[in-house]
Chain A
Amino acid sequence: MKKRIINRLPGQGAAAVLGLLPFLLLLLAYAWGSQVRLEANPEDKLLPALSSLAAAVERVALEPNRRTGELQLWADTAASLQRLGIGLAVASLLALVTGLATGMVPYVRAALAPFVRVLSMVPPMAILPILFIVFGLGELSKVVLVVLGIAPCMMRDLQQRVMELPSEQLVKAQTLGAHSGHILWRVVMPQTLPRLIDSLRLNLGPAFLFLIAAEAIAAESGLGYRIFLVRRYLAMDTILPYVVWITLLAFLMDIALRGVSRWAFPWFHQGKERA
């Protein structure tokens, strides 16, 4: 008896193998391409051999930089993560406050929702020069770019999530004698927090995008700075590990946020499987 393809489910082991397969294929394709190119021209810089990638990783991660004396990869990572962390925290706080206010209070919604909607349409990269002029070339302008890049979308998302709460709950709370503050503090906000984490997870990618962009243009440290610096020497052996490292960081942050959400808001995850 053959089932339709849409009804056939992989087992746990098969799913794990299938999940790893694209990564392995990519690695093999790279190794093969690299070998072919290096055979034709040993000086080729575009696809360095896996061994030279490993050597580069060892150099940037374990040996002090000759100019600054720092362990370059870790110094860059710390600088970038600090900017990103502050940006994400500020954006989350703004999104939470605005989302709750516009989602719950019709007067605030009338006043702010159209503005936020327009704000979210401003391409953040287009105002980057303004940010550099206004906030200087230091840390602030990079953090501001991350915040401006993701906060408006998160605000809109959170407003939507707040408004999606069943109105029955709000009526129920009122029949229990709650005033607006109680409803905000005890009914709406606790239910908004896991949705804020969801929103943050979805915005990790864009946040990294804006961070790297800001660092590429003006910075003295950071993952994006390094990639765009060594680009001049076509140093693929540094760029590729950095890209993998940034991807890994974003992936780990996503997993960590999901873990926090499951631990802190078990009721939110019961009965539904989320990736």
Chain B
Amino acid sequence: MAALLEVKQVWKEYGNSIVLEKLNLSVKEGEFCTIVGTSGCGKTTFLRMLLGEEGPTRGSLLLDGKPMPAEPGPDRGIVFQRYSVFPHMSVLDNVTFGLEVTRSPLLGRLFGAARRKARDEAAAMLAQVGLSHALDRYPSELSGGMQQRLAIAQALIKKPRILLLDEPFGALDPGIRADMHALVLRLWQESGLTIFMITHDLKEGFKLGTRLLVFDKPRLDAQAPNRYGATITYDLVIGRQEPALLEEIQGAVTETSRFNDQQ
């Protein structure tokens, strides 16, 4: 099977500071990649490149064998840690919005039977994430976990090929986080999506998904901290690893983190 996403020798630089270097990666359809690493190791930059918000400075980023579009599009859904949902729309409208903009190219609004149909589809999607009881509420009336469920439903209604999750559960309570893990795994198994999930939490990365990508700086230079960028230091299949490896990665990542902290 051909790779869905192909990253070849990608570098990302801002002026003199190198964020990512020598990035090589090939991801097949249906994989669930978790991305871990400390702050400042280019995880979010990589995600922005997958969104199309940024392009690589060097190298090539291919989606289905073609260069990544230069702006976000409906084939790549996203859930951010915050601000993912529209505060001025009810829960149901937040999800219906995605259907309305495609089915009503001019106004972005549906009427009559078409509207009812879209709302029914959205309600069915919301039922899948367990928000059936909150259809008419505004996001500000929802808990953090419910808002993230809403953001996921909103993204999935578009049936994207790739779902990007940017530390989606970072702000949630541990118990809620476990529920959200179960939800994401179930939706992923049912839909056959390809998922990229960024997380700070290495344990979360080891637990969720099929593949773990560790972003880290292999070279640390105290005289020129931005001279060397981060790259993928570990690319592991999840579920077949020794606990000792987790310790090892934790050690390497922590070292980078302390290094960054002292700069």
Q: Which residues of A line the B interface, CB within 8 A?
A: 166, 168-169, 171-179, 181-182, 185-187, 190-191, 265-268, 270-271
Asked, given contacts A267-B88, A270-B140, A270-B141, whether A185 binds B107 with beta carbons under 8 Å apart, the answer is: yes
Known: A175-B158, A181-B108, A186-B108. A191 touches B87 (CB 8 A): yes
Q: How far is the CA of A173 from the CA of B94 in the complex (A)?
A: 10
Contact A172 B80 (CB under 8 A): yes
**Most chain A beta-carbon neighbours within 10 Å: one of B77, B80, B87, B105:** B87
A274 to chain B, nearest CB (A): 14
Quote the shortest CB–CB distance from B135 to chain A (angstroms). Answer: 15
> With contacts A169-B86, A172-B85 known, what are 6 further pairs, Cβ within 8 A?
A169-B84, A172-B154, A176-B98, A185-B107, A268-B87, A270-B140
CB of B87 within 8 A of CB of A267, answer yes
B201 within 8 A of A: no
Instruction: Give chain B's interface residues, CB within 8 Å of chain A.
Output: 51, 53, 71-74, 76-78, 80, 82-88, 97-98, 100-102, 105-109, 138-141, 151, 154-155, 158, 160
Q: A270 and B138: CB pair below 8 A?
A: yes
CA separation between A179 and B100, bound complex, in Å?
Answer: 12
**A111 to B151 alpha-carbon distance, docked (Å):** 36
Chain B residues near A168 (CB-CB < 8 A):
80, 82-84
List the 10 closest pairs (A to B, CB-CB), nearest first.
Answer: A166-B83, A177-B74, A182-B108, A174-B72, A168-B83, A176-B98, A267-B138, A178-B101, A270-B140, A168-B80
Closest chain B residue to A266 by CB distance?
Answer: B138
B98 to chain A, nearest CB (A): 4
- Do A175 and B73 touch (CB < 8 A)? yes
**Nearest-CB residue, chain B, relative to A166:** B83
Q: Output the residue of B72, B98, B106, B151 with the most chain A CB within 10 A.
A: B72
Cα distance A110–B166 in the bound complex, in angstroms: 31
The answer to whether A186 touches B109 (Cβ under 8 A) is: yes
**Is the beta-carbon distance between A176 and B51 smaller than 8 angstroms?**
no
Are A175 and B76 in contact (CB-based, < 8 A)?
Answer: yes
Q: Cβ of B86: which chain A residues have Cβ within 8 Å of it? A: 169, 172-173, 187, 191
Contact A176 B101 (CB under 8 A): yes
Q: Which residues of B contact A186 (CB under 8 A)?
A: 97, 100-101, 108-109
Most chain A beta carbons < 10 A, residue from B71, B88, B100 = B88
Q: Which residues of B contact A271 (CB under 8 A)?
A: 140
Residue in contact with B53 in the complex, picked from A166, A171, A177, A268, CB distance below 8 Å = A171
Per the bound structure, the CA–CA distance linking A173 and B76 in Å amounts to 11
A173 proximity list for chain B (CB < 8 A) = 86, 97, 101
The distance in angstroms between the C-alpha atoms of A83 and B131, with both chains bound, is 50
Contact B102 A177 (CB under 8 A): yes
**Shortest beta-carbon distance from B118 to chain A in Å:** 13
How many angstroms from the CA of A173 to the CA of B87 in the assembled complex?
A: 13
Query: Do residues A176 and B97 form an inter-chain contact, with CB atoms below 8 A?
Result: yes
Docked Cα-Cα span, A197 to B83, in Å, equals 23
Enumerate 30 A-B pairs (CB-CB under 8 Å) in ascending A order: A166-B82, A166-B83, A168-B83, A169-B84, A169-B86, A171-B53, A171-B78, A172-B84, A172-B85, A173-B97, A174-B71, A175-B51, A175-B72, A176-B97, A176-B155, A177-B98, A177-B158, A179-B101, A181-B106, A182-B108, A186-B97, A190-B88, A191-B87, A191-B88, A265-B88, A266-B138, A267-B87, A267-B88, A267-B138, A267-B140
How long is the Cα–Cα vector from A171 to B71 in the complex, in angstroms?
9
Check A176–B138 contact: CB distance below 8 A.
no
Let me know if A175 and B155 touch, CB within 8 A.
yes
Q: In angstroms, how far is the closest chain B Cβ from the Cβ of A263? A: 14
**Which of B76, B108, B155 contacts A178, CB < 8 Å?**
B108
Q: Contacts of B84 on A, CB cut-off 8 Å? A: 168-169, 172
